[in-house]
């Protein structure tokens, strides 16, 4: 069985010599319009775990992997990941938003997927070293950032079904603009999945593992076929309680200013942005409720005016307004269907903190460089 981290283990992720770097012109062209998840920096952080512990830590060239076709991850999906961003502030310094929270969730996901726990200090060191190596790739100006994708998978070549005895940790980096569309904040439309669920009690819904995302893809394709941007899932037991989108948490703004988000029941991912939005909403004077949300409350609340605004949030999506909830034969739209005032205010406060334009009163920012 994979182990808990050895408190004394120290991974430094030294920078390997001789990694080729792309030229200034090519990089500038990419940073001009990075899109999301399309371009990658020159380096990646890597470490390998065996029953003897963690080792082989280094920052190396971002390059294709050599992987056995029998690598367990390719057969049994023993894999987890994280998503976080590094932001360049006006004085040139570079900061990550709450990376300790990502490190802790990575550890929780690892335990659920029977993977070894990467010590929090190693997780942080890997992103510090990677961002230092790829500093020129951190966008300047606007809301663009360097998206960091730490992940870990069963690299052992073995077809028996058991926790792998060789596991690879990698962190790659990708300059990122808006996740949706071309940067203009536009409300997204949501298809309510009729047939598929994302997670069941006792399953892996609270872990950030690739399998959860694979399971959402067919429902996402159904959403696209109905002209929608995203899919929303209901609970697997009663098909009644709102859970989350494929990779984002949901918030509802009521007519009295209260913010409501589905409570964490073990089938919903505990988003770092979700937790931060709850705090920002309190800071802005809103009541907040984490509780079960009946889909009828969403549907009927749009019609009655009780639900004024709906938004989705996540590292990639930041805070994105939700327009229509689409079901066979019905369409429910909160407010006037545009970006609501509360949604805009929360998004602004969050991005102001991330980009160093507002005071970081909660100590969320972690200086990388």
Which residues make up the interface to ligand COI (CB under 6 A)?
A: 83, 247, 314-316
Pick the closer one to ligand COI by CB: 247 or 335.
Answer: 247
99-112 vs 272-283: helix crossing angle, rounded to 10:
140
| Least distance to ligand COI, CB of residue 83, Å | 2
**Is residue 234 within 8 Å of residue 193, measured between CB atoms?**
yes
Pick the closer one to ligand COI by CB: 316 or 346.
Answer: 316
**Is residue 48 within 8 Å of residue 169, measured between CB atoms?**
yes
Cβ count near 246 (within 10 Å): 20
Pick the closer one to ligand COI by CB: 5 or 83.
Answer: 83
Cβ count near 287 (within 10 Å): 12
Pick the closer one to ligand COI by CB: 168 or 212.
Answer: 212
| Least distance to ligand COI, CB of residue 265, Å | 20
Could you give the CA distance from residue 32 to residue 26 in angstroms, rounded to a whole number? 10
| Least distance to ligand COI, CB of residue 362, Å | 20
CA dihedral 84, 221, 319, 33 (to 10 degrees): 70
| Least distance to ligand COI, CB of residue 80, Å | 11
| Least distance to ligand COI, CB of residue 190, Å | 14
| Least distance to ligand COI, CB of residue 303, Å | 30
**Is residue 32 within 8 Å of residue 15, measured between CB atoms?**
no
**Is residue 98 within 8 Å of residue 272, measured between CB atoms?**
yes
Cβ count near 248 (within 10 Å): 26
Pick the closer one to ligand COI by CB: 280 or 316.
Answer: 316
Of 214, 217, 211, nearest to 230 by C-alpha is 217
| Residue facing ligand COI at closest CB distance | 83
Pick the closer one to ligand COI by CB: 129 or 230.
Answer: 230
| Least distance to ligand COI, CB of residue 201, Å | 23
Beta strands in the chain, from DSSP E residues, in sequence order:
43-50, 53-61, 79-81, 84-88, 94-97, 145-154, 167-176, 188-192, 230-234, 242-245, 249-254, 259-262, 288-291, 307-314, 318-327, 330-332, 365-367
Pick the closer one to ligand COI by CB: 193 or 315.
Answer: 315
| Least distance to ligand COI, CB of residue 207, Å | 12
Write the burial class of residue 167 (CB in 10 Å: 0-12 exposed, 13-18 middle, 19+ buried).
Answer: buried
Could you give the CA distance from residue 41 to residue 139 in angstroms, rounded to a whole number? 12
Q: Tell me the CA end-to-end span of the chain in Å, nearest whole number.
A: 36
Pick the closer one to ligand COI by CB: 5 or 247.
Answer: 247
């Amino acid at each position: 069985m994979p182990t808990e981290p050895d408190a004394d283990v120290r991974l430094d992720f030294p920078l390997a010599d001789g990694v080729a770097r792309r030229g200034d012109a090519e990089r500038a062209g990419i940073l001009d319009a990075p899109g999301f998840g399309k371009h990658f920096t020159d380096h990646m952080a890597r470490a390998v775990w065996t029953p003897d512990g963690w080792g082989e830590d280094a920052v190396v060239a971002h390059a294709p992997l050599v992987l056995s076709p029998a690598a367990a991850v390719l057969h049994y999906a023993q894999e987890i990941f994280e998503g976080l961003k590094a932001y360049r502030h006006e004085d040139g310094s570079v900061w990550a938003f709450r990376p300790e929270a990502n490190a802790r969730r990575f550890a929780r996901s690892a335990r659920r997927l029977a993977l070894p726990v990467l010590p929090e200090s190693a997780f942080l060191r890997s992103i510090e070293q990677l961002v230092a190596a790829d500093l020129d790739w951190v966008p300047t100006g606007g809301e663009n950032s360097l998206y960091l994708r730490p992940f870990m998978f069963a690299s052992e070549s073995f077809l028996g079904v058991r926790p792998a005895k060789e596991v690879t940790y990698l962190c790659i980096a990708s300059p990122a603009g808006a996740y949706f569309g071309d940067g203009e904040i536009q409300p997204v439309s949501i298809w309510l999945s009729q047939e598929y669920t994302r997670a069941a009690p006792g399953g892996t819904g609270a872990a950030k593992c690739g399998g959860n995302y694979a399971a959402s893809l067919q429902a996402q394709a159904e959403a696209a076929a109905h002209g929608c941007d995203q899919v929303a899932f209901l609970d697997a037991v009663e098909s009644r309680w709102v859970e989350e989108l494929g990779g984002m948490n949901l918030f509802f703004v009521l007519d009295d200013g209260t913010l409501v988000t589905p409570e964490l029941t073990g089938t919903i991912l505990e988003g770092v942005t979700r937790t931060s939005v709850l705090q920002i909403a309190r800071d802005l004077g809103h009541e907040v409720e984490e509780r079960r949300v009946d889909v009828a409350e969403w549907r009927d609340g749009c019609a009655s005016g009780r639900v004024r605004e709906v938004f989705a949030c996540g590292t990639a999506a930041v805070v994105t307004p939700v327009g229509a909830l689409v079901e066979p034969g019905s369409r429910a739209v909160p407010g006037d269907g545009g970006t609501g005032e509360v949604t805009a205010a929360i998004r602004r406060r969050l991005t102001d903190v991330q980009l160093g334009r507002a005071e970081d009163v909660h100590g969320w920012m972690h200086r990388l460089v």
